[in-house]
Structure 1
Amino acid sequence: MMCVKNLYFKAFAGRKAFYSKAYITILLIALSLVSSNFFTHASVVQLKIQAVDVRDAPLAGAKVTLFAPPPGAYLVAEAFTDSKGVATFTLTDPPDEVNVFVSWKDIVVAQSKIASQSGFSKIICNVGLIKVRVMSLTNKIVSSFRVSLTWGTYAGPKSVYNFTDKDGFAVFASMPLQSYNLDIYWFDTSYKVYSETFTPKPDTVYEVKAPLYEFLVEVRDTSGRPISNAEVVLGNSLKTFKSYTVNGISSFGNLFAGTYSLKVTYAGTVYRRMDVNIDSDKHVSIVVPAIKTYTLTVQVVDEYGKPLANSKVTVVDAENKVRGEVLTGSSGSVKFTLQEGIYRVYVVYGTQTSKEDVQLSSDKFQKIVVYTASNTLTQTTTPYFTGLDPTPIILVLASILIAIAIFFIIVKRISST
């Protein structure tokens, strides 16, 4: 019996010790968790990233994306740069390093890995100035042509365009320096004269030789003398050009290969219509019969004899056909080359008009006056002095007479009583 009792007490003591140890262990774990939560604070850092191009110019509006490095890569933050090219991030418990991606015009232009605690980092992006110069095959400048750049992005194809200036340059600022489809269009039309794929380099002019040609028209009379002021019109279904010969020559440049219609008019008469096939630089001579023509000089002046610039002068022949129309310069004068005949000259200056009939049988100078001053008649009414108004005086006198009459009536009644 004593043995059983001793065994019972030993078992009870062992169980009590076990529970005590378990209790202490649980208590220590709880204290550890509480202390870790109490003494541990979330880490918050501020990170600024500046995006610049290859010339160190800031990229405003660039998208900056931060990813945690693999394994377990995830999006940390995303922001756009300000006017100084800076994107500011406030990061809570960030990874030690982040992968930075800078996007510009829907394409990644820079990628880098930086420390989250760095505070500030500048990233140079593959963005710069693209200059394209367009020349003809004979090294003549091509101006006013539309130059288009197309590139692929994660949002689909994108394109921009610009026109070549007087020196043949088309300039594109802040462009990703990557592969482009380069398309050159004939002036402002939809006709493509050149196309290729190229990759621009920083601060490098990309020069293009487009297959364009020059067409020269020479107009002479039957004796071989050059004829000036002949009207030459050249065109196709896309565009029409008009010029006037100088010393018998009129030239048209930057023409693509194809068929054009040509019309030559002199002194109001059409002397040549023809189709011209242009596939290289070409020269055409047009012979015009010798015609006796005269010069009509018209000067437009106001009523004081002062020349009027920017007056529109139109010459119409006896059949009511317009033989010339031009604006006057600072001298108020214009010249027309016309055959012998009767003409009517119309002048428009602002809202004022004038016209004159001219008999032309030799060189003639005609002055036309346009009255520009507006005569405004102003009527002045002279007030007449008519003296004082008698109405108030009459009213006062009448009031006095009435008062006197009433006084006598009252006195008479009193005396009668």
Structure 2
Amino acid sequence: MATDYYATLGVDRSATPEEIKKAYRRLARQFHPDVNDAPDASEKFKEVSQAYEILSDPQKRQVFDRGGDPTGGQRGGAGFGQGFSFDDIMDAFFGQSGPRGPRSRIQRGQDALLRLEVELAEAAFGVTQELKVDTAVVCEVCDGSGAHEDSAPVVCGTCRGQGAIQHVQRSLLGDIRTARPCPTCQGFGSVIPDPCRECEGEGRVRARRNLTLTIPAGVDHGTRIQLSGEGEIGPGGGPAGDLYVEIQVRRHPVYSRSGDHLECQVTLPMTAAALGTTLDLPSLKADLEEHDGPEGVTVDIEPGTQSGQVVVVRGEGVPRLRGIGAGDLRVTVVVETPGKLDDEQRELLHRLATIRDEQRPEARLGATHRSVFGRMKDAFRAGAGE
């Protein structure tokens, strides 16, 4: 039974070229294998493409209207004749081995990576930033179809919509036939005779666009934030890939970060470390433009604090990215010994040394290690006792 191309496109025999073109574009989008996963979608797409190829050509349409065969009696996808297909053998043993049907012009876009430098406070407590991203976007002229104005892809005349051509090689077993992507349509099964002037048939163009990025509190150097669907638009106006924003944290003049903890170092005079004091350190949160909390952090230095001792302020560190609460602020104390003394200061220190019996202090090699002179004294005392 002869194919009714008008019925395939769902138009009357008196349909205008414009109506035929619109019907084809609607059905092609409906039955495209990348859009429709029905088992017969690919075959219907080929039928629709073949119907449009016939009815969009005035001479072929006239032959068909007169009851003739506009295809010249050729049947696409017929058997290979005598011999056997190498693809059939491979399918029997290993499954599908070669091209099967046309590949889609609509493909997913690639993922994109953007590196963003932020301040330590922005990474620690979160911030919202505006980004300028250069990626591929859908061509607004052709709406991703790649065709100029109201034109549309037509079935490839070389492979007749199969997306591949057959190669025959003689062997002792007979004719071995293999499929290769069609060089004319590059495996798409269709060609665009009139490509879009804006995107040159790609269905996408490069453009700069603005994005709003919300950086959550607690991100660290090297953290990647995924923005789904904000990457490159695919060929043919296909779905976009993802955009990954990699956080790069700038060095801070006061604070450094260790996991969820903030660390800093303060230098204190010897007298302050001995007597104890209270410090007001600048708050890291104060670096944020919209900060409305306290400007400082109070750190209590206990009397007798030694150089190298770490004072911990609970909960004043970095908020945990995937948890509750925050880390700590760790302040390392460095005790500074005065290098220049006037006569009065020297006299005061001598008096202090006399009061503490430290005019000739014994050097201690460790917390529990006795001095050499101490051990010698013990030895003499033991000998005298004997």
- TM-score higher than 0.5: no
- TM-score, length basis structure 2: 0.26
Higher Cα Rg: structure 1 or 2? Answer: 1
Report the structure, 1 or 2, having the larger helix content: 2
The structure with higher relative contact order (CA 8 Å, sep 6+) is 2
The structure that is strand-richer by fraction is 1
TM-score after normalising by structure 1:
0.24
